Structure 1
Amino acid sequence: MRLGLVAFLLLTALTAACDDAETKRKRLQAEQAAEAAAASRVAEERLRSTARNIAPAARLRGVVAHRQAQGGYAVCGQVNLTGAVEDPYLPFVSVVSPNGERVEQFVATGSAEATRTYVETNTRCFDGGGPTSARSVPPLPPVPATATPPPAAPAPAPAQAPAQAPPPAPPPAGSPSAQGSVTTTSAHPVNLRSSPAGGGAVLRVVPRGTRLRVFAEAPGGWYQVGEGEPAGWIHGSMLERP
């Protein structure tokens, strides 16, 4: 009889302990879900108020909040800055401090910004990401090469000069000339691509009416453009003479 009573009391205590653990687990999950939702709202508000070239109709997709090792959240996703169907979605990362008062914003709107966003995505966009202590710095992932490689050293001149190459064909009528300046179409923003083809990766979105310098031409009506140095390729149908 005494053994049965002891067994009953032990079973009751174990059941109560399990119930308490399950209750705490569910409460912790609910608190973290509420924190993640709040961090996502803060990140979206900051993105819409500070991102360059963003329009009121901008759209977000794939937004996920990841709790960081030292608290706070990294809110990761993609944003269409204009909301237009033909414009691309760009990656972004918003690092929200534990109290929500400080937000670091990274959006791949240009070559340098795309590199930083890539690094932040690979080091923060997972649960437990970011630095593990105030002094630790997570190892950086390899960054994809986007810069033009330096030219090779010139070879020594041959004993006999080669035959002079024929002059390049003049550009078609109405197209922007190489080494000149152009402006992007005033109808809508234009995609700046990594290669002279429709399937080239979009490096950034150039606002409408932006003045650019032409550095080179490629078959199919593509032009290598940039501000002070070559930055990417835009099709001639998206460019106008200044």
Structure 2
Amino acid sequence: MLLWEIKKLAKNRWNLFLFAALMSFWGIRLYFAAQKGADRFFMTSISFWHLIGSLMIGFMILFVNTRLFSWDEEEKVKEAILATKSGKARLFLFRMLANALYTTGIAILFLFIQVLGFFIFNRYENLSITFIVECLESFPYVWAGSVLFSVFAACVCTVFQSHMVAAVLCGILFGTTYLLRGNLLQPYSLEWFLEKGFFSYFIRAKDIVLDSQFMVLMIWYGIFLASVLVLTITLQIRRHEL
């Protein structure tokens, strides 16, 4: 069942488009950066997750992963699923696991694209080791943020039983984090939580460990996601879906 759910994710028509867009934008950006010297090329190379990479993985989660949790409604098979012996509990668990595994695979592929682009356009021999170290240091935060956001979006889709509602709501929360300027915001204000509190802050992986509120964010992410999961499971139990 797990493999079947992952196959459904892999067959989504958005995959090819988003991967092609990512490789095109990233290749063009690196090409022009390479013309402007070693420093500019290096800073551009390590900024992959700051904008392009994080936005693309956000789109992938919203348009590919999240749709898995509205598949029963779209295919008109929800009643048949609920009538099975195990109901939807086992299916929900497998889909959450498939969601996390597929997100992990996407993040690794995106990292490969980042590294591949660097070595294709790199003309400066002394940059390679430093670049690899930067990638390896930031990737655990990217991976954690991506998986957490994919679980959050899956819960929202399950609660509202609508892929469109989940994509719009999560897209607004995710996109808002790019519009607000964290260094100009009052710590722990509403705007501060909107800028850093919805997982894209980890996915962007920009000076995270230097942030004085790093541990606060870790605690917030844990409490927030646990609350969303409890709410989702509670609603499913009341609907007799688990």
TM (norm. structure 1) is 0.23
Q: Report the structure, 1 or 2, having the larger strand content.
A: 1
Q: Give the number of the structure with larger relative contact order, counting CA–CA contacts within 8 Å between residues 6 or more apart.
A: 2
Q: Report the structure, 1 or 2, having the larger helix content.
A: 2
